[in-house]
């Protein structure tokens, strides 16, 4: 069995390779956006605003 990493804040599991890559890139948990390694620089990602498409206003040619 290989080594697994657990986020200290939300307990999300990461495989060893993924945890090393994430810590080197942004050091932010993908689930809770908290630092994975307190001894390294923390670069949290910015949440994108979700956009929604109103499917009731689509063209008639696409309706069945």
Which pLDDT tens digit goes with each residue over 12-49? 999 999 999 999 999 999 999 999 999 998 887 766 65
Q: How many domains does the chain have?
A: 1
Label residue 36 exposed, middle or buried (CB < 10 Å: 0-12, 13-18, 19+).
buried
**Does 24 reside within a domain?**
yes
pLDDT of residue 44: 77
**Does 36 reside within a domain?**
yes
Contact 35, 28 (CB under 8 A): yes
pLDDT range class, residue 56, cuts 50, 70, 90: confident
Give the residue, 1 or 10, on which the prediction is more confident.
10
pTM here?
0.62
Give the residue, 61 or 33, on which the prediction is more confident.
33
**Does 54 reside within a domain?**
no
Residue 13: give the domain boundaries: 1-42
């Amino acid at each position: 069995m290989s080594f697994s990493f657990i986020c200290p804040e939300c307990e999300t599991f990461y495989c060893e390779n993924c945890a090393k890559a994430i810590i080197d890139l942004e050091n932010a948990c993908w689930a809770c956006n908290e630092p994975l390694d307190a001894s390294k620089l923390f670069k949290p990602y910015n949440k994108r605003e979700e956009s929604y498409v109103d499917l009731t206003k689509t063209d008639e040619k696409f309706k069945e």
